[in-house]
Structure 1
């Protein structure tokens, strides 16, 4: 899924602070954050990390197929114009050709490190509908056909080759690709969610929007309001997990319009994410590329 959120100026990069502690390394946060609130956030992050360690949920996660990158991959050449990019961002597509008939059965996920898994296969029309949400006036991208092929994608278990629908776009030599197999069901958290307003003002992290090629950073969707200076996301790293804790900085008292602004935040990690599970401190659940 592509980014549809309102974007503010650039990305906020959470700097690495603090040293490595027994339970993990604490990264992120921003200078000036309230120390007591941050302490509560880190305490909650440790609670989540401890609950996941050796849990049935962790075992289920280690055996599933969970994309950690966008399941829709734009043409290799990139967009030819800003108008085409905006059409993609708003899901404005026109279908001017026939799509293959509904496909049933299973598709195979093959990891570069070894191991395979079969997952339900998507039909071309379902795959098309996952990114083509509009067909309105203005700039549109035109799909003229599709065929079933493969693509590589970053997952919670490393890079995998998976079935993908390759959509032909008018004016483009390379296709738009959409992963054609369903992700595994995300296991329930082995810990209850934090209480609203507790744990130092923690906020939910809706979804993952990207993982750096070297795994040394992740970009996640975070939220804030109209009367603060924006979101900040920290990371508690252990050998088995990376727990992200999100809050806002510079919150101001007084009258404020009711807005929920979404913004992408890049969080640096002390070492590559690898096969460590990425978790949200508020919910205790994995952070995935699916819309939250």
Structure 2
């Protein structure tokens, strides 16, 4: 019975997500962290990388992909929100990570007991700007506020109107890791950018238009010599001249929207 209650609770969480696909969206090598965040440096951008950013912006302007993206629901923030204050201890953190939810009665090992569920709403960043979407609110034993999970599934991603960059030298333009966060006021975005152990770190340049924001990542100060093969993933905060809003956030290297991957939910794959 312990196995059955655990499995039932997991199904409850999964079915809650799948059952409310209808509903209006309103509003609108190895890896290691590189510290608390790096401001995008104000160095001049290499002309070929700048030209590529302009090509990506032009390709998306007025494209069918842009129309599909604007009509659709594409989260740019984690679709799961933990109770206020986060997990109480390491055992609860492990239970959240492994999705070990059980109905009242429990089981052995770290778990979270679901005592109730009801429909509600949550607000998160999306391709249409900040949006309020239908959600399921799970009451957890020992928590004053619920675990919230969006009840709307993103549609299939549109086909990009432009392919990956092939003409810009390695290091001058590299793919971004992922989108970490859009600031509450929309005036900055934080992304992950990769670099190696024999350089001065990453740079992320921005090209803004009325409907697009194109980010171009590169590696600064690459130097020769014996280097380890690790990939260092740094957080880079990019300031915008005005709020991101419903403008499409694009990666100059891939020609696609910058993917989001939260600790509990990931962007649909472009592959």
TM-score scaled by length of structure 1:
0.69
**Is 1:226 matched with 2:252?**
no
Deviation at 1:145, TM superposition (A): 4.5
Q: Output one character per residue of 1:62-88: Cα deviation in whole Å (capped at 9) or x when no partner.
A: 11111122212122x212657479648
- Give the equivalent residue in structure 1 for 2:216: 245
Q: Which of 91, 94, 97 does residue 91 from structure 1 map onto?
A: 97
- Give the equivalent residue in structure 1 for 2:235: 264
Q: Give 1:137-286 correspondences, 5 Å limit.
A: 140=110, 142-145=112-115, 147-149=117-119, 150-195=121-166, 198=169, 201-286=172-257
**Is 1:6 matched with 2:13?**
no
> Given that residues 40 and 200 in structure 1 are in contact (C-alpha distance below 8 angstroms), is that contact kept between their aligned partners in structure 2?
no
Q: Give 1:26-105 correspondences, 5 Å limit.
A: 29-31=41-43, 35=44, 38-75=46-83, 77-79=84-86, 83=90, 87=94, 91-97=97-103
Listed as ranges, the gaps of 5+ residues in structure 1 are 15-28, 99-135
Aligned residues: 230
Deviation at 1:200, TM superposition (A): 5.7
Cα gap change, 1:194/1:81 in structure 2, threshold over 3 Å: closer, same or farther?
same
Cα gap change, 1:196/1:254 in structure 2, threshold over 3 Å: closer, same or farther?
farther
Deviation at 1:166, TM superposition (A): 2.3
Deviation at 1:244, TM superposition (A): 0.5
What is the alpha-carbon distance in structure 2 between the residues aligned to residue 208 and residue 281 of structure 1? 14
Listed as ranges, the gaps of 5+ residues in structure 2 are 1-30, 261-265
What is the alpha-carbon distance in structure 2 between the residues aligned to residue 13 and residue 52 of structure 1? 27
> Given that residues 38 and 200 in structure 1 are in contact (C-alpha distance below 8 angstroms), is that contact kept between their aligned partners in structure 2?
no
Deviation at 1:199, TM superposition (A): 7.0
Cα gap change, 1:171/1:190 in structure 2, threshold over 3 Å: closer, same or farther?
same
Q: Output one character per residue of 1:119-175: Cα deviation in whole Å (capped at 9) or x when no partner.
A: xxxxxxxxxxxxxxxxx97xx562424524221222121332222232333421111
Q: Output one character per residue of 1:9-64: Cα deviation in whole Å (capped at 9) or x when no partner.
A: 211122xxxxxxxxxxxxxx444xxx5x6222211101100111111111111111
Cα gap change, 1:141/1:203 in structure 2, threshold over 3 Å: closer, same or farther?
farther
* 3-state secondary structure, aligned to 2:103: coil
* 3-state secondary structure, aligned to 2:224: coil
* 3-state secondary structure, aligned to 1:220: strand
> Given that residues 115 and 141 in structure 2 are in contact (C-alpha distance below 8 angstroms), is that contact kept between their aligned partners in structure 1?
no
> Given that residues 32 and 231 in structure 2 are in contact (C-alpha distance below 8 angstroms), is that contact kept between their aligned partners in structure 1?
no
What is the alpha-carbon distance in structure 1 between the residues aligned to residue 228 and residue 145 of structure 2? 44
What is the alpha-carbon distance in structure 2 between the residues aligned to residue 234 and residue 86 of structure 1? 36
> Given that residues 143 and 167 in structure 1 are in contact (C-alpha distance below 8 angstroms), is that contact kept between their aligned partners in structure 2?
no
> Given that residues 228 and 250 in structure 1 are in contact (C-alpha distance below 8 angstroms), is that contact kept between their aligned partners in structure 2?
yes
> Given that residues 92 and 111 in structure 2 are in contact (C-alpha distance below 8 angstroms), is that contact kept between their aligned partners in structure 1?
no
